[in-house]
A and B are shown apart, each in its own frame.
Chain A
């Protein structure tokens, strides 16, 4: 390992200004060092600020605090020598494969002969020969992302940034691209010296990275750093590999909820309603409850196991599991999801009984839902505008988070029949409540 890091991120934070002028912190105090020959993974769920960090490193956005140093020089704009592969490929649909790859070199005003030589070399390296004159729309997702890779490599960057590069691909294609990438990397055939990979796939992180930074949300921050010293190529079925995956699951669940099932958060104005709710439907909630209650889990499920069984990515599974925890239907600890009494009762009940249990949990443990219901009860008209609650929420979160939180509350409240909502007039009412 070289002594001078390729990239040094020092106490970087990012916040956005809310409409009311207050600051909204999305990334807090991140430190990292990337050395030559390293692949660092940024692992976390959506909203944990990992993509934001990647953009700060790329110079596409400026940090609010701290700074990123590339080869000892602060990054203050798109840096030469750092290039990026995008989740949705970001190819220019009106340019052919060749033209897409050549674009970065044209921006550098290289001689035409040089551009052609390097473009064809990159296309060749990434396995795209024969596709030079194709337009992106003619290609499959996998081929498109290969163009994304070729385009990023052709400018001979020192650092390659990858923003969930395989998440828009199907399982098979993603695996092929990962393997190809790792082969090229370990054979040293790519011009790059270091890689930063953003992902929400735990196995992908363990498979590819030398070091994994686990991110937590609200605000986005690094929870822990895990070294992966397994030799390449790695085997997913290797017990050591499984152990690391399990360990990361534990890391990611240990500090997410943080509230024990027996501790009830009281509702105080300005407190308790401030948490962002994920948009999880009641079908997903009851689906997971039923799955955990049934064989072979019988009320207690290992998260990596159930994720594999239900074919869910952590980005899909975690919000559901956490919502169950918030509603005290389950406890989330040590990488396990364990049903509470209410959870078991819900899983075994019929429709009407389920609704009753759900309503009870909702009004007891979700302060915002209780708040909405109380406001409706107190008013003679039993009507309240949605904007009223949005305004309250925006003291704590961004506009889009407030919207999403209220969407979640509306869905759950409708299911539990504790209040109704009219979309056209954007009002909560007490019509047809239980």
Chain B
């Protein structure tokens, strides 16, 4: 359909190629070269990893960065496939949704690095002796950091397709397949892209952490920035760490400019609220793609595929000539089978859990519980401190559009930057000044996640209607009263959103933040994170699972008891409609 109108209007081509074609060609070729380079090592035997050890020479960093980015990309594709299938299943079947949606909620609370500890051995055994297995494990870990919220967002979109659009699709006899690609996916796309971006910024943290891991006897260091950093720590090489940080910053910047800016700008047309005159977000890369026939061809290819597959599938039954319609007998068996299936799953799960925890000592449970409380206390204190710092600053910045324009992307960039790259610097300082790790390792947990608070508050403050601010000014509301009655309520829903993300992220970060090393010096804090990390190093699966389960329970409980009610309260009470 894209084609038809284009033929009609732009039937002839004047120039052989535009500047944009050239630019696009260069970029595209570079991408191909990069993919080839990066995937070359995949099929190499695992022993080659030992044979060609990582090198700290900065020359190798581009290749390492490429491998890291490729992992990220692979995980994103996986997450997308997962989202499209899982969320659709949940949205189309009320019966399945009853299980799938709570499951998703639990899954998003499971500490991601915990997943890694458990799955790395499994994946290694899947492709014995090949690097691919280790790659799978890393990609899977990143996948788990990205997929859940994407699936949630798409599920939400599927449930809220406007009635009239849905009726229009019905009355024009779109088949389910056409409906999915022409209505449901486009409708869900803006929210999905936004969540992809959020996932991606969380993902860098885990890709770095997942590259260099040892579970018991199994120790893997996949070529990538994460392993590079790990090696630099081992060798106490501050220069190398500096190089790695710079490379990472560059990679994130490029990813943002080449992938997400264009996507966010492009997806603007899919918004259903159609306000004419709203300026869509700009992106030079998108302009390039739009003006280049090369990339245009790709999008036409995609549309054609959608059309072709729609064509191949049978038309809507109403359109099948003279087919006598008979009510399709619904298979009643599900009514019996489904509960049976659920029961079987539950039984199996219970048995597995019972086996795992059969020999757990009460003392062990107490220790874990105590450590979890300790970590909880840390998270609470840190979120409170970060809020005290960033809320006023965020409000101040958000009310000044010129400043916000600069700080907002910076805060988003900092949120995406894997804070674990900075850990060595902190450890270096702790060792050098002999600080108390129980106190001074803690800030690392929130190093990367505090930015969510900042940029959400900035967004909230910028969104506050200027009339409200003028009114407050006009009434002479100033000082503490202004904060209490105007600024804080105004940014409340945004702050809560940011704080939820920050809190969840901090729990995840605990696994790497509680236990840090610099060369052979180990610094450790007491907490659940250190417990899981220790168990991972020791290859003690029983304790890994126990630690993960405890963390998972804590996170779910805190979300249900504290954050969720607070979120709804803030939404109801303070959201300006």
Q: How distant is B314 from chain A, measured CB to nearest CB, in Å?
A: 9
Q: Per-residue CB proximity of B487-500 to A under 8 Å, as 1/0? A: 00000000000000
Contact A92 B183, beta carbon cutoff 8 Å = yes
B-side residues, CB < 8 A to A, are 1-2, 4-5, 8-9, 162, 164-165, 167-168, 170-175, 178, 182-183, 186, 189, 269-272, 274-276, 307, 310-311, 315-319, 325, 573
A99 within 8 A of B: yes
**Closest residue on chain A to residue B168 by CB atoms:** A90
A sample of 18 more A-B contacts (CB under 8 A), given A108-B319, A115-B4, A120-B8, is A55-B167, A60-B167, A60-B171, A78-B318, A86-B167, A88-B162, A90-B164, A90-B165, A90-B167, A93-B271, A94-B189, A103-B182, A104-B172, A106-B1, A109-B311, A116-B8, A132-B5, A133-B5
Report whether B167 and A93 are in contact in the complex, using a CB–CB cutoff of 8 Å: no
Q: Is the CB of A107 within 8 A of B174?
A: yes
A residues in contact with B307, CB < 8 Å: 106
Query: CA–CA, A95 to B303, complex, Å?
Result: 12
**A80 beta carbon closer than 8 Å to chain B:** yes
- Chain A residues with CB under 8 Å of B1's CB are 95, 98-99, 102-103, 106
Beta-carbon contacts of A97-129 to B below 8 Å, as 1s and 0s?
011001110111100100110011000000000
Residue of B nearest to A104 (CB): B172
Instruction: Tell me if A76 is interfacial: C-beta within 8 Å of chain B.
Output: yes
Give the contacting residue for B9; candidates A82, A107, A116, A132; CB below 8 A: A132
Given contacts A77-B318, A99-B2, A116-B8, contact A94 B186 (CB under 8 A): yes
Inter-chain contact A107/B173, CB cutoff 8 Å: yes
Closest to B1 in A: A99
**Can you name 11 A-B pairs with beta carbons within 8 Å?**
A59-B171, A78-B172, A84-B168, A88-B162, A90-B162, A92-B186, A98-B1, A103-B182, A109-B315, A115-B4, A138-B276
Q: For the complex, is A83 an interface residue (Cβ under 8 Å from B)?
A: yes
- Are A137's CB and B164's CB within 8 A? no
Check A389 for interface membership: any CB of B closer than 8 A. no
Q: Chain A contacts of B175 at CB under 8 A? A: 107
Contacts of A147-163 to chain B: CB distance below 8 A: 151, 155
In the complex, residue of chain B having the shortest beta-carbon distance to the beta carbon of A61: B167
Shortest A5–chain B CB gap in Å is 21
Q: How far is B269's CA from A138's CA once the two chains are assembled, in angstroms?
A: 10
Q: Is the interface of B mostly helix, strand, loop or mixed?
A: helix
Q: Which residue of A lies closest to B275 (CB)?
A: A137
Given A86-B168, A99-B2, A109-B311, answer yes or no on A136-B318 (Cβ-Cβ < 8 Å).
Answer: no
Closest to A138 in B: B276
- Among A76, A108, A109, A139, chain B packs the most CB atoms within 10 A around the CB of A109
A46-82 vs B, CB cutoff 8 Å, 1 = contact: the mask equals: 0000000001001110000000000000001111101
* A94:B270 contact, CB within 8 angstroms: yes
Q: Which residues of B contact A58 (CB under 8 A)?
A: 167, 171
Question: B311 to chain A: which residues have CB within 8 Å?
Answer: 109
Q: How far is the CA of A107 from the CA of B275 in the complex (A)?
A: 29
Contacts A94-B186, A107-B172, A137-B276 given; indicate if A102 touches B164 (C-beta within 8 A).
no
Within 8 A of B (CB), among A293-310: none
Q: Are B269 and A137 in contact (CB under 8 A)?
A: yes
- Determine whether the beta carbon of A78 is less than 8 Å from that of B269: no
A55 to B318, CA, bound (A): 17
Q: Mark A384-424, 1 if CB is under 8 A from B, else 0.
A: 00000000000000000000000000000000000000001
**Inter-chain residue pair count (beta carbon < 8 A):** 111
Are A108 and B171 in contact, CB atoms less than 8 angstroms apart?
no
A323 contacts B by Cβ under 8 Å: no
Q: Does A8 contact B (CB under 8 A)?
A: no
Q: Which of B1, B269, B316 is packed against the most chain A CB atoms within 10 Å?
A: B1
Contact pick for A87, options B2, B4, B164, B317, CB 8 Å? B164
Instruction: Choose one: A77, A87, A103, A132; the contact of B172 (CB below 8 Å).
Output: A103
- Determine whether A135 belongs to the interface, using a CB cutoff of 8 Å to chain B: yes
Nearest A residue to B274 by beta-carbon distance? A137
What CA separation (Å) do A104 and B318 show in the bound complex?
13
The 5 closest A-B pairs by CB, nearest first: A104-B172, A90-B164, A137-B274, A90-B168, A94-B186
In angstroms, how far is the closest chain A Cβ from the Cβ of B159? 18
The answer, among B8, B170, B183, B316, for a CB contact under 8 Å with A132, is B8
**A60-B269 contact in complex given A92-B183, A137-B276, C-beta closer than 8 Å:** no
Complex Cα distance A106/B177, Å? 13
B431 to chain A, nearest CB (A): 52
Please tell me if the beta carbons of B316 and A107 are within 8 angstroms of each other in the complex.
yes
Residues of B within 8 A of A155 (CB): 172
Q: Is the CB of A112 within 8 A of B4?
A: yes
Q: Is the CB of B172 within 8 A of A88?
A: no
* A217 proximal to B (CB < 8 A): no
B325 to chain A, nearest CB (A): 7
Question: Measured between alpha carbons, how far is A120 from B7 in the docked complex, in Å?
Answer: 13
Contact of A136 among B9, B274, B310 (CB under 8 A): B274
- List chain B residues, Cβ under 8 A from A77: 317-318, 325
Chain B residues with Cβ below 8 Å from A59 are: 171
For the complex formed, measure the closest distance between the CB of B271 and the CB atoms of chain A, giving whole angstroms.
Answer: 7
Q: Tell me how far the C-beta of B285 lies from the nearest C-beta in chain A, rounded to whole angstroms.
A: 20
- Distance of A133 Cα from B10 Cα, bound (Å): 11
* Bound: A120/B9 CA distance, A: 12
Chain B contacts of A90 at CB under 8 A?
162, 164-165, 167-168
Count chain B CB atoms within 10 A of each CB in A83, A88, A90, A119 and give the residue with the most.
A90
A86, B166: Cα distance in complex, Å: 11
A102 closest partner in B (C-beta): B1
- Bound: A120/B1 CA distance, A: 13
With A84-B171, A107-B173 in contact, do A98 and B4 touch (Cβ < 8 Å)? yes
Name the CB-closest residue of A to B321: A80
Report how far A219 CA is from B274 CA in the complex, Å: 35
A100 to chain B, nearest CB (A): 9
Residue in B8, B172, B307, B318 whose Cβ sees the most chain A Cβ within 10 Å: B172
Query: Which of A78, A88, A109 is close to B171, meaning CB atoms less than 8 Å apart?
Result: A78
The residue that A107 contacts in the complex, of B8, B269, B319, with Cβ under 8 A, is: B319
Q: B315 to A107, Cβ gap below 8 A?
A: yes
Q: Are B167 and A108 neighbours in the complex by a CB distance under 8 Å?
A: no
- In A138-195, which residues have CB < 8 Å from any B CB? 138-140, 151, 155
CB neighbours (8 Å) of B182 from chain A are 92, 95, 103
Chain A residues whose C-beta falls within 8 Å of the C-beta of B8 in the assembled complex: 116, 120, 132
Q: B188 CB to closest chain A CB, in angstroms? A: 11
Q: What are the residues of chain A within 8 A of B573 when measuring CB–CB? A: 424
Q: Closest chain A residue to B170 by CB distance?
A: A78
A135-B269 in contact (CB<8A): yes
Q: Is there contact, CB below 8 Å, between A108 and B269?
A: no
Tell me the smallest distance from the CB of A82 to a CB of chain B, in Å: 8
Kindly state whether residue A199 has any CB partner on chain B within 8 Å: no
Q: How far is the CA of A102 from the CA of B178 in the complex (A)?
A: 13
With A84-B168, A93-B270: A107-B178 Cβ-Cβ less than 8 Å: yes
Which residue of B has the minimal Cβ distance to A112? B4
Chain B CB within 8 A of A96 CB: yes
Contacts of B317 in A (CB 8 A): 77
Docked complex Cα distance between A120 and B189 (Å): 29
Residue of A nearest to B307 (CB): A106
Q: How far is the CA of A19 from the CA of B389 in the complex (A)?
A: 48
Q: A98's closest neighbor in chain B, by CB?
A: B5
Give complex CA distance A84, B168 in Å. Answer: 8
Determine the chain A residues whose CB is within 8 A of the CB of B269 once the complex forms. 93-94, 135, 137
Q: How far is the CB of B72 from chain A (nearest CB, A)?
A: 27
CA distance A103 to B171 in the complex (A): 11
Residue in A82, A86, A138 whose beta carbon sits within 8 Å of that of B164 in the complex: A86
**A99 cross-chain contacts in B, Cβ below 8 A:** 1-2, 5
B residues in contact with A95, CB < 8 Å: 1, 182
The distance from the CB of B481 to the nearest CB of chain A, in whole angstroms, is: 22
Residues of B within 8 A of A133 (CB): 5, 9
Q: CA separation between A103 and B172, bound complex, in Å?
A: 8
User: Within the assembled complex, what's the spacing in Å between the Cα atoms of A102 and B276?
Assistant: 23
CA distance A284 to B311 in the complex (A): 55
Contacting pair B4 A106 (CB below 8 A): no
Residues B310 and A106 in contact, CB atoms below 8 Å apart: yes
